[in-house]
Amino acid sequence: MAKTALIIGGGFAGCAAAHQLALQGGWKVTLVEKLPFLGAGVRTSWYGGHPYTFGPRHFLTPWEEVFGFLHEYLPLRKLKHEFITYVEQDEAFYNFPIHMDDIETMPDREKVHAELDARKTIEQPSNFEEYWIQAVGETLYAKYVDEYSKKMWMVEDNKEIDTFSWSPKGVTIKEGPREAWEERISAYPLAPDGYNAYFDIGTADANVRLSTTIEQYDIPNRTVVIDGQKEQYDVIVNTISPDVLFEHCYGELPFVGRDLHKFVLPMEECFPKDVFFIYYAGKEKFTRLVEYKRFTQHQSPTTLIGLEIPSKNGRHYPVPIQSEIKKAQRYLADLPDNVFSIGRNGSYLYEVDIDDCIKQSMDVAAKLS
Ligand SMILES: Cc1cc2nc3c(=O)[nH]c(=O)nc-3n(C[C@H](O)[C@H](O)[C@H](O)COP(=O)(O)OP(=O)(O)OC[C@H]3O[C@@H](n4cnc5c(N)ncnc54)[C@H](O)[C@@H]3O)c2cc1C
């Protein structure tokens, strides 16, 4: 008889988990999603005739096998990709990661060089500010990181942030090619509706219950209540914040949300060639602009821009503060055998991206085989 699995949440991680169990075979899978659609923010919608997602959602991975896996089901186009950052102090756009050639154009380059020459390695930086200043000096930290990180994490002071593994993009100063991610594969689906087909492929064999909320969780017994009915499963794969599963018994896990504003501009293209995102590193309220055409290759005489403002709306970004990560780990440690928690919120790790969702779902399937 088929074993039963409940998947909580139908974002990328939930759909990827359903897919892995379908490939393994022998599972009767139920996927519960509170929204009326699958894919969450990775789902492509349309505005002004343009396809867009909630934020960039480009596929980026160091793992050839994960790229190959997704590409088999959802053909992907590899991209050459640069980031730029607007630095208001200098009234200039610079590459990110910080690039040596840009430093040479800065009005205060001598001071920057003096700070770079005087850098000292701190064995264990105690906060994000210290971590960055030791890597790039105070002036570059002030230009690229200080205000950006405060608005990104909605903190008064970057000393409140005390973990760094999520910040791989910039602590080196680059020379040579300006590509943002030389060591990773950067790609995007070829289909005009982006990843949408994958959500249906992944869940084709599952019983998908949209617009459905679980009323009660009894995780030790792998039991939930939906529409007043108790349902017990052999396996649960959770993809939502683990505090919800345990009625926040160790306290609520904090998240930063996002407001996305979209606007169409009367021009075919707007950003420089190969630039997909522009970061804004100063006191303006927004963090990032995306020109969706760069990813989607959508043909139109106009172009769609997305602008992101950090807010308290939505549980999008687990905060990279040790005490909160430890709190999440307490919840995760309480999961019994055959209950897994994956995905960005399920792992409570900001650094979990789309490729990690696939990798984690493969790992769960391997444990269950
Ligand atoms: C603005 C933004 C831009 C990003 N850009 C990129 C990028 O360019 N590249 C990249 O690789 N990654 C990017 N990411 C990260 C990546 O998209 C996520 O890591 C990934 O999509 C997370 O998928 P998930 O399934 O873990 O979580 P989610 O997408 O959050 O899915 C969880 C699902 O669970 C549902 N749910 C919540 N509570 C319940 C409940 N009680 N019952 C039932 N269902 C529930 C939600 O509605 C949602 O559909 C970005 C993230 C954000 C926020």
Domains and CATH numbers, the chain: 3-43+195-254+319-368 (3.40.50.720), 82-160 (no CATH)
Cα of 61 from ligand 1 centre, angstroms: 17
For residues 258, 263, 265, 269, the Cα torsion angle rounded to the nearest 10 degrees is 40
Measured distance CA(325)–CA(347) in Å, rounded? 9
Radius of gyration in angstroms for the set of CA atoms belonging to the chain, rounded to a whole number: 22
pTM for the model stands at 0.96
Residue nearest to atom 12 of ligand 1 (CA): 353
| Ligand 1 pocket check for 288: Cβ under 6 Å | no
Rounded to the nearest 10 degrees, the angle between the axes of helix 354-368 and helix 12-24 is 30
The Cα-based distances of 194 to 129, 187, 307 in angstroms read: 37, 11, 19
Q: Is 266 exposed, middle or buried (0-12, 13-18, 19+ CB in 10 A)?
A: exposed
| Ligand 1 pocket check for 256: Cβ under 6 Å | no
Question: What are phi and psi for residue 33, nearest 5 degrees?
Answer: -130, 130
Closest ligand 1 atom to residue 346 Cα is 26
Question: What are phi and psi for residue 209, nearest 5 degrees?
Answer: -115, 100
Question: What are phi and psi for residue 257, nearest 5 degrees?
Answer: -105, -170
Taking a C-beta distance cutoff of 8 angstroms, is the pair 187, 69 a contact? no
User: Residue 292 is which amino acid?
Assistant: Y
Closest ligand 1 atom to residue 15 Cα is 25
Distance of CA 198 to the CA centre of its chain: 18
pLDDT tens sequence for the chain (369 residues): 889 999 999 999 999 999 999 999 999 999 999 999 999 999 999 999 999 999 999 999 999 999 999 999 999 999 988 889 999 999 999 998 899 999 999 999 999 999 999 987 767 889 999 999 988 999 999 999 999 999 999 999 999 999 887 665 557 788 888 777 677 899 999 999 999 999 999 999 999 999 999 999 999 999 999 999 999 999 999 999 999 999 999 999 999 999 999 999 999 999 999 899 999 999 999 999 999 999 999 999 999 999 999 999 999 999 999 999 999 999 999 999 999 999 999 999 999 999 999 999 999 999 999
| Ligand 1 pocket check for 180: Cβ under 6 Å | no
Measured distance CA(203)–CA(299) in Å, rounded? 30
User: Residue 148 is which amino acid?
Assistant: Y
Pocket-testing residue among 7, 31, 42, ligand 1, by greatest number of atoms within 8 A of Cβ: 42
| Ligand 1 pocket check for 41: Cβ under 6 Å | yes
Q: Is 178 exposed, middle or buried (0-12, 13-18, 19+ CB in 10 A)?
A: buried
- Residue ranges of alpha helices (H) inside the chain are 12-24, 64-73, 100-103, 109-117, 128-136, 138-140, 146-153, 196-202, 242-245, 293-296, 322-333, 343-347, 354-368
Question: What are phi and psi for residue 219, nearest 5 degrees?
Answer: -65, -40
